[in-house]
Amino acid sequence: MVRGVTYNKMESSTDKIPGYLPVLRANNIQVGKLVFSDLVYVPENRISHQQLIKAGDVVIAMSSGSKSVVGKAAKAGSDWAGAFGAFCGVLRPDSEIDPRYFYFFTQSAEYRSRVSELSAGVNINNLKPTHFELIELPIAPRGEQTRIAQKLDELLAQVDTLKTRIDAIPALLKRFRQSVLAAAVSGQLTEEWRVKTTPVDQLDPSAYREVPLDSLADFQNGFAFKSDWFSKTGDIQVAKIGNVRNSKAELGNSPAFVSREIGSEYQRFMTLEGDILLSMTGTKYKRDYGYACSAPAGILVNQRVGKLRPQKDKVNSRFLLLCLQSVGFREQFFSGETGQVSQGNVGSEHIKKCLIPSPAIEEQAEIVRRTEQLFAFAEQVEAKVISAKSRIDHLTQSILAKAFRGELVPQDPNDEPASVLLKRIQAQHAATPKSKRGRKST
């Protein structure tokens, strides 16, 4: 184990300057790979020759407040004119050990489990160089190490390809949903249905005319309930800004309740079945998280949350919600943002005048049916993706476990036994004088 470079923060730089060398930190270790960006530079005279990164080195995160970070490892593919910081360390495998074989062990569940046990602390998790003396590496004959490493390179590259393809699916599903919404609110989704169900002489070219939102639904701002009226338990829940999340009414997020007496007094701010909630503050933050959702019946609406009550003879509640979540409406909605750059507010008068398509109520119901059918299909695919990701993650560990049990590649009786290899390594280490700790002299 080679310890990391100790330096004074005042003498470091985030810019590359003459006489300074780059230093890796824990954030440069990402998914088993070294990332050579976001580097810090320190004076070259703070770095010993031993601390320069060499091909085959395995850089380890030695200290972190997160258990998932401490012990994470990445292999250097080549020599690098840089070093690593004090919160990292380097494991430099013996010349008798295949560096790839050694590195793959640091990606195994067995290694991670031992690191987690050894590094556990109260506030911060630390690995000490002596901890690595307590982690056992299964030693295979040198020839078998190479065959195992080659096979792991091949199999895990295939697994990475699968991961890349699987990871791309959520973005495709997001685009699919957006396309469905666009087709739904533009009339394309039911164009064929409309022609089949409407006599030719009754087809209305303006069936998809757009009308102001307040001509289809009654809009009401929430009430500014006093903070000292709230409790964590009570009779009636109040929907606040933080409860309109991810296009859902997430009432479990910081729930607030008021007494039944207050609820009775302010009943006009209570939701009915079919009502829709709109977040009117923090809209910049909610752009990607959903600012509109269906409201549960029987809750009160707090200030800066708008309540839309669809006029049932004119608009289907679920159709209206689809319209509010479409790209076209989002563009209208967010065009009215005012206020702080990081916050964003949209006023009620702007919301009321946003335009909504207004097909016949029967067609709205058909649009909802078809859209929900397609969304259900997307949800099924999404569930399969989550399951596939889990299986792929387990597959990686299954392959690694098989490798270090000696079951991944055939064994060759002509290989030098691992016991002989181990004795030779031990003899070489015994004959090598231990280097004294210290820093390169200035």
State pTM to two decimals. Answer: 0.77
Q: Are strands 236-239 and 300-301 parallel, antiparallel or unpaired?
A: parallel
CA distances (Å), 301 to each of 72, 104, 311, 318, 425, in order? Answer: 47, 55, 19, 20, 72
Q: Which two tokens stand for residue 418?
A: 């691992």
Q: Is the pLDDT assigned to residue 246 strictly greater than 90? A: no
Separation between Cα atoms, residue 50 and residue 128, nearest integer Å:
18
pLDDT of residue 430: 85
Q: Which two tokens stand for residue 350?
A: 């702007």
Residue 148 near residue 408, CB atoms below 8 Å: yes
pLDDT of residue 289: 58
- Write the pLDDT tens digit of every residue in 308-360: 999 999 999 999 999 999 999 999 998 998 876 567 889 999 999 999 999 99
pLDDT of residue 439: 44
- Write the pLDDT tens digit of every residue in 166-194: 999 999 999 999 999 999 999 999 999 98
pLDDT of residue 8: 87
pLDDT of residue 205: 61
Segment 251-271 shows an average pLDDT of: 93
Q: Is the pLDDT assigned to residue 30 strictly greater than 70? A: yes
pLDDT of residue 103: 97
Residue 135 near residue 1, CB atoms below 8 Å: no
Separation between Cα atoms, residue 304 and residue 170, nearest integer Å:
32
pLDDT of residue 139: 93
pLDDT band at 283 (very low <50, low <70, confident <90, very high): confident
- Write the pLDDT tens digit of every residue in 124-147: 889 999 999 999 999 999 999 999
Q: Which of 175, 179, 92, 98 lies closest to 141 in space, CA to CA?
A: 98
Instruction: Give Cβ neighbours of residue 297 (< 8 Å, ≥ 6 apart).
Output: 271, 272, 273, 275
pLDDT of residue 434: 65
Tell me the range of 63-72, 276-285, 299-308 where mean pLDDT is highest: 299-308
Segment 206-227 shows an average pLDDT of: 91
Percent of the chain with pLDDT over 70: 94
Residue 166 near residue 385, CB atoms below 8 Å: yes
**413-419: long-range contacts, CB 8 A cutoff, minimum separation 24:** 414/143, 415/141, 415/142, 415/143, 415/144, 416/141, 416/142, 416/143, 417/141, 418/139, 418/140, 418/141
Tokens 């890349």 appear where?
164
- Helix, strand, coil percentages for the chain (3-state, nearest 5): 45, 20, 40
pLDDT of residue 303: 93
- Write the pLDDT tens digit of every residue in 356-389: 999 999 999 999 999 999 999 999 999 999 999 9
Instruction: Give Cβ neighbours of residue 274 (< 8 Å, ≥ 6 apart).
Output: 309, 310, 312, 317
End-to-end CA distance of the chain: 23
Tokens 């690098």 appear where?
80
How many Å is the Cα radius of gyration of the chain?
31
Segment 107-114 shows an average pLDDT of: 95
pLDDT of residue 148: 97
Domains in the chain (CATH in brackets) are 2-134 (3.90.220.20), 209-358 (3.90.220.20)
Separation between Cα atoms, residue 424 and residue 430, nearest integer Å:
10
Percent of the chain with pLDDT over 90: 79
Q: Is the pLDDT assigned to residue 203 strictly greater than 70? A: no
Residue 425 DSSP class: H
Q: Is the pLDDT assigned to residue 418 strictly greater than 80? A: yes
pLDDT band at 200 (very low <50, low <70, confident <90, very high): confident
